[in-house]
A and B are shown apart, each in its own frame.
Chain A
């Protein structure tokens, strides 16, 4: 079994306890306008172009049989023509053009992950499945979890919550130790507007999941200016979580660096907020969630 993985990030220190390896799956059922990892949205391989690395040698133009590459095009590649043959990637001397997504079979991925087992063991760390959306590749994720659990590795999942509950409970949940569950927008219509899917399934899945006592669930709130981090939305989320008797949450502050990443794969959206959260904004958010336990951000 194979799937596209955008990145295997070793030596990760966030996204779960201890020293971890993060697996970024490629492909997500939602399509949030602010997606912080836009290169993981599509389940297919892509070619990225980073103009910072380009020495303008134009070798790629000559290499492309379809004429998809032009220096008149700021993004270099006309993606409606490109068939991902990869000839441009091959000739690029500076790795300005690169494939996004590498196909991994389970064995190779497991071997790579196990290289760092000593670190997981000594630090109370492990592996975190992230993305993209790991549940989107549920059969592959199942195989991977099964293999890693044989080695007694602490497993963590980061999910948008949009999954088939029955399959999830069957194929993934039994192997997980910790789940970061994204809580984005309380209002269903707004959720549909900004994330391209309603939140009904997500909230239902969440309520279902917290009944389970074998795994720790941490709701995680991405703080996206003007979308999720509005006072109204945050208050609604806070009240909702209180009603479910949730005490501990996690904050995910906005990171504007995604904008340049989106550019490299031609995935710009209308949302283009370019600032980090300032202290005033953070303090306000903290006051809304004053009843909760969360790590400083």
Chain B
């Protein structure tokens, strides 16, 4: 760009800012910054500067007026920095989406309150004429015809073995594999499943609106008389307000009442958490390419003008920034490439004590809280106990509303119409059940399932829909299944009850799919495809170590297999030697039929790893997966298991550049020395890597603890607390350390790429001396483009992680040890430990986009390696991979590790032979003490076909790392990464 052109563009930038002043005086738009009716006034100060300080412009919103001037101002709400004048000239008129790119590549950055940036993007998008297109009405739109979905599903050919004998702890299923049942036997479930896939999720403002309205009325920081408000009580009253005023909904044909949102499939907004991030997209979210959400223009206005402004300073990120004075650890987080802190979005990741609620009822918890309140002298505790009672009241009111609504709909139907009369019967039963649970203990399977679901809905009035998990569903439901089936008089009746049980579990799973998480564009771009990850766990052992695989385990697996939903994210525990091989075989079969579910866990190893962290053996045996795969002790353990994802590759790039990160272009880490001269031995270089890693880890711990403290103030969780052992006894909220176990869970991303790079450096630079750092650095900067062919060949020949060659495992084990020690050295803000694990969700793709070429030979921008899996092409033999991963020290990965295998059955093999082989691979992996196995049973060719013909593959779920995603809904980089993974053939 020429100097002249740059100046012209900057002039245009000024003009455009001036133009805002004119555009927003127009009545229709003015209410975005000034609304006399509601009293909303947007006052804000923006500073735009180049990093060298040469160019400065400011924009001030004051009482509905907009002024633009050159120069610096005092105390702007936000300063937006541009790399230089040239960057400013080319950046200013880009869309919010494109601007994001500049933020990611660090050509733009900001200092100050991020919400002001999102508000600014919203204003510019409106000024440039963004409009909501294609909104058709209050109901969710069907984006695909249901028939099309049904046709695509026919591509799924299920294969089922029959097993005509009882195994494990199965008591009634004559064929535990339930081979004879097909989705066609359940027309209701089949229809609702296809309908769910066809629906476009809609943004739901109900919760956000009720929450904001409550706080505007009653205050947030102080009450009407100016007294400080106790956070737990404030939260309890606000959440009570939401539950009491929430619309009770029983969707047509459904057997389980209640909905997380007011839409058929909704995206709830949590403005105190991540909600405001969607501000720039309010007008365009319906038309974006990935995961579009329907939005009512009126709702968009409510969010933009009533809800979001209230939360600009009262969200976790901004409260933390202000309270802890813009710490470096937050600055690093907002550079995207070092670590991602989930607390800005949610905590949620845990497994509430649903068994306690279905067996004892919420009324008994409330009574307990009332008694405790009387007994204690502590004012804080009294407040906490009051909070518990207030939220439980809200939950019970909501449940009663559901009961009334069911009765109301029943009354509105025609009893003489044969179809409607059946529905009337169902609705009356639903009404009866909702009047009873979750207040009182459940007595039937239907009651137990409704109790779980009503609780789940209420918990989501408080907690974001981010991996608040269901837990050990088979263990919870088995007693109710047994009591139902014991009433049967003959085989025919027993069969009926089995079939009904499948339908009821299917009904619960359909409800679990009634909500999607809010994913701002950056989420789709960098990551994406994640659901709410409401996880269900089956199998394993019980608290006494006995075989826990039971009738309900198989019923749940069957239901899951028929539905092929991403959620509930299914996790199966397999205890070698206690659970049967036939059960493991069935788990493999479900994976063949579902492509990528369930994850299969080595129960023995997981339990040992937990006991090693101080969990009692009985509690350790009662673990269930949270979110992706992370172990959580049901109802006792508040362990934000996905509090952060740290990029292990970033410190490698920093060690190679003396603390400077090449993408950021700044020295963000300690100076560990010039790589060209400072490291006489490999150990010296390795130590430099560790120093950079430790620095980032410490910063990540610091910011996580700060964010935890922000949650303590902004977002206590009295309702969630009432589902736990601990808070009542201790008289404090979970967020204050009320649970029995209080860990935080860390995910370390792409260990493989670091190990491979270290192996190359060690072999070529130090052992063989065929390479020096100068040449390497030049090749990396040049992305191995010019004259690096021979170097790449040399790199390729170095034995790497997954090859099972001597030396390749030692370095990985050493690094596992180091990471474990770094994180275990500090407690979290609730007094618990940090537990590390190795799974990457989709962050290996996102971080890969932001990472330069690596010594391992990986090129710039390419995806890193998922979870704890060897990189593609490291070995042709699955067995070497299995041996490598199985050999690692599992005690050093207590937050679990995902080994993900793309394995394709040989076309000529029978189903039986394929299952023989799959089962023996998994069993062998576990015999080596491997922790967790994830499948993708699909060929790269089929995945390519799915890219070409997405309509045929709406059902296709694939395993990214830890979690599942619908293949057709993830971004192209993620699709390609999956395709490029090593495909092992069972041939």
Give every chain A residue within 8 A of B921 (Cβ-Cβ).
19, 119, 123
Q: Does A245 touch B at the CB level, under 8 Å?
A: no
The stretch among B93-101, B186-194, B873-881 that forms the contact with chain A is B873-881
CB distance from A255 to the nearest CB of B (A): 14
Known contacts A18-B916, A18-B920, A122-B927; A55/B880 CB under 8 A: no
Q: Which of A13, A95, A115, A296 contacts B986 (CB 8 A)?
A: A13
B872-929 interface with A by 8 A CB criterion: 877-880, 883, 906, 908, 916-917, 919-921, 923-924, 927-928
Q: How far is the CA of A95 from the CA of B880 in the complex (A)?
A: 22
Number of interface residues of B (CB under 8 A): 22
- Contact status A55-B790, CB under 8 Å: yes
Q: Which of B793, B877, B880, B987 contacts A94 (CB 8 A)?
A: B793
Look across to chain A and name the residue whose beta carbon is closest to the beta carbon of B797: A95
- Contact status A13-B928, CB under 8 Å: no
Q: Which of B916, B919, B928 contacts A118 (CB 8 A)?
A: B928
Look across to chain A and name the residue whose beta carbon is closest to the beta carbon of B919: A122
Q: How far is the CA of A94 from the CA of B880 in the complex (A)?
A: 24
- Contact status A122-B790, CB under 8 Å: no
Instruction: Work out how many contacts link A and B, with CB atoms closer than 8 A.
Output: 51
Look across to chain B and name the residue whose beta carbon is closest to the beta carbon of A17: B916
Give every chain A residue within 8 A of B920 (Cβ-Cβ).
18-19, 119, 122-125
Q: Does A116 touch B at the CB level, under 8 Å?
A: yes
Q: Is the interface of A mostly helix, strand, loop or mixed?
A: loop
Q: Does A191 touch B at the CB level, under 8 Å?
A: no
Which of A18, A19, A124, A296 has the most C-beta atoms of chain B within 10 angstroms of its own C-beta?
A: A19
Q: Does A93 touch B at the CB level, under 8 Å?
A: yes
A84-117 interface with B by 8 A CB criterion: 93-95, 115-116
Give every chain A residue within 8 A of B917 (Cβ-Cβ).
13, 18-19, 123
Known contacts A118-B928, A122-B927, A123-B920; A10/B879 CB under 8 A: yes
Look across to chain B and name the residue whose beta carbon is closest to the beta carbon of A125: B920
- Contact status A93-B924, CB under 8 Å: no
Which of A13, A122, A124 has the most C-beta atoms of chain B within 10 angstroms of its own C-beta?
A: A122
- Contact status A116-B916, CB under 8 Å: no
* B142-186 interface code vs A (CB 8 A; 1 in, 0 out): 000000000000000000000000000000000000000000000
Q: Does A11 touch B at the CB level, under 8 Å?
A: yes
Give every chain A residue within 8 A of B794 (Cβ-Cβ).
93
CB distance from A124 to the nearest CB of B (A): 7
B77-98 interface with A by 8 A CB criterion: none
Q: How far is the CA of A95 from the CA of B790 in the complex (A)?
A: 12
Give every chain A residue within 8 A of B919 (Cβ-Cβ).
122
- Contact status B908-A93, CB under 8 Å: no
- Contact status B878-A118, CB under 8 Å: no
Give every chain B residue within 8 A of A296 (Cβ-Cβ).
908
- Contact status B790-A123, CB under 8 Å: no
CB distance from B781 to the nearest CB of A (A): 24
Give every chain B residue within 8 A of A11 (Cβ-Cβ).
877-880
Give every chain B residue within 8 A of A93 (Cβ-Cβ).
790, 793-794
Q: How far is the CA of A13 from the CA of B916 in the complex (A)?
A: 12
Look across to chain A and name the residue whose beta carbon is closest to the beta carbon of B985: A13
Q: How far is the CA of A4 from the CA of B337 in the complex (A)?
A: 51
Give every chain B residue within 8 A of A281 (Cβ-Cβ).
none
* A1-36 interface code vs B (CB 8 A; 1 in, 0 out): 000000000110110001100000000000000000
CB distance from A285 to the nearest CB of B (A): 16
CB distance from B510 to the nearest CB of A (A): 38
Give every chain A residue within 8 A of B916 (Cβ-Cβ).
18, 123-124
CB distance from B680 to the nearest CB of A (A): 27
CB distance from A257 to the nearest CB of B (A): 15
B601-621 interface with A by 8 A CB criterion: none
Which of A11, A14, A95, A124 has the most C-beta atoms of chain B within 10 angstroms of its own C-beta?
A: A11
Q: How far is the CA of A168 from the CA of B747 in the complex (A)?
A: 58
- Contact status B924-A118, CB under 8 Å: yes
- Contact status A119-B793, CB under 8 Å: no
CB distance from B219 to the nearest CB of A (A): 64
- Contact status A119-B797, CB under 8 Å: no
Q: How far is the CA of A93 from the CA of B794 in the complex (A)?
A: 8
Q: How far is the CA of A118 from the CA of B921 in the complex (A)?
A: 9
Q: How far is the CA of A296 from the CA of B907 in the complex (A)?
A: 11
Give every chain B residue within 8 A of A18 (Cβ-Cβ).
916-917, 920
Q: How far is the CA of A14 from the CA of B921 in the complex (A)?
A: 16
Give every chain A residue within 8 A of B880 (Cβ-Cβ).
10-11
Give every chain B residue within 8 A of A13 (Cβ-Cβ).
906, 917, 986-987
CB distance from A38 to the nearest CB of B (A): 22
Give every chain A residue within 8 A of B797 (Cβ-Cβ).
95
CB distance from B809 to the nearest CB of A (A): 13
Q: How far is the CA of A14 from the CA of B906 in the complex (A)?
A: 11
Look across to chain B and name the residue whose beta carbon is closest to the beta carbon of A115: B883
- Contact status B924-A122, CB under 8 Å: yes
CB distance from A174 to the nearest CB of B (A): 27
Give every chain A residue within 8 A of B927 (Cβ-Cβ).
118, 122
Q: How far is the CA of A10 from the CA of B883 in the complex (A)?
A: 12
Give every chain B residue within 8 A of A14 (Cβ-Cβ).
987
CB distance from B923 to the nearest CB of A (A): 4
Which of A14, A93, A95 has the most C-beta atoms of chain B within 10 angstroms of its own C-beta?
A: A93
Q: Which of B883, B908, B923 contacts A122 (CB 8 A)?
A: B923
CB distance from B668 to the nearest CB of A (A): 38
A105-154 interface with B by 8 A CB criterion: 115-116, 118-119, 122-125
Q: How far is the CA of A14 from the CA of B794 in the complex (A)?
A: 33
- Contact status B879-A119, CB under 8 Å: yes
Give every chain B residue within 8 A of A19 (Cβ-Cβ).
879, 917, 920-921, 924
A53-103 interface with B by 8 A CB criterion: 55, 93-95
Give every chain B residue within 8 A of A116 (Cβ-Cβ).
879, 883
* B750-794 interface code vs A (CB 8 A; 1 in, 0 out): 000000000000000000000000000000000000000010011
Q: How far is the CA of A296 from the CA of B909 in the complex (A)?
A: 9
Look across to chain A and name the residue whose beta carbon is closest to the beta carbon of B906: A13
Give every chain A residue within 8 A of B987 (Cβ-Cβ).
13-14
Give every chain B residue within 8 A of A125 (Cβ-Cβ).
920
Q: How far is the CA of A14 from the CA of B908 in the complex (A)?
A: 12
CB distance from A118 to the nearest CB of B (A): 5
CB distance from A184 to the nearest CB of B (A): 24
Q: How far is the CA of A13 from the CA of B790 in the complex (A)?
A: 35
* A174-186 interface code vs B (CB 8 A; 1 in, 0 out): 0000000000000
CB distance from B688 to the nearest CB of A (A): 30
Q: How far is the CA of A125 from the CA of B923 in the complex (A)?
A: 14
Give every chain A residue within 8 A of B793 (Cβ-Cβ).
93-94
- Contact status A119-B924, CB under 8 Å: yes
Which of A13, A14, A119, A124 has the most C-beta atoms of chain B within 10 angstroms of its own C-beta?
A: A119
CB distance from B648 to the nearest CB of A (A): 29
Look across to chain A and name the residue whose beta carbon is closest to the beta carbon of B916: A123
Q: How far is the CA of A169 from the CA of B593 in the complex (A)?
A: 47
Look across to chain B and name the residue whose beta carbon is closest to the beta carbon of A119: B924
Give every chain B residue within 8 A of A55 (Cβ-Cβ).
790
21 A-B contacts, Cβ less than 8 Å apart? Answer: A10-B879, A10-B880, A11-B877, A11-B878, A11-B879, A11-B880, A13-B906, A13-B986, A18-B916, A19-B879, A19-B917, A19-B920, A19-B921, A93-B790, A95-B797, A116-B879, A122-B920, A122-B924, A123-B917, A124-B916, A125-B920
**6 nearest CB pairs, A to B:** A123-B920, A11-B879, A122-B920, A11-B877, A122-B923, A118-B924
Given contacts A18-B916, A118-B927, A123-B920, 7 further A-B contacts (CB under 8 A): A10-B877, A11-B877, A18-B917, A116-B883, A118-B928, A123-B916, A296-B908
B positions within 8 Å CB-CB of A: 790, 793-794, 797, 877-880, 883, 906, 908, 916-917, 919-921, 923-924, 927-928, 986-987
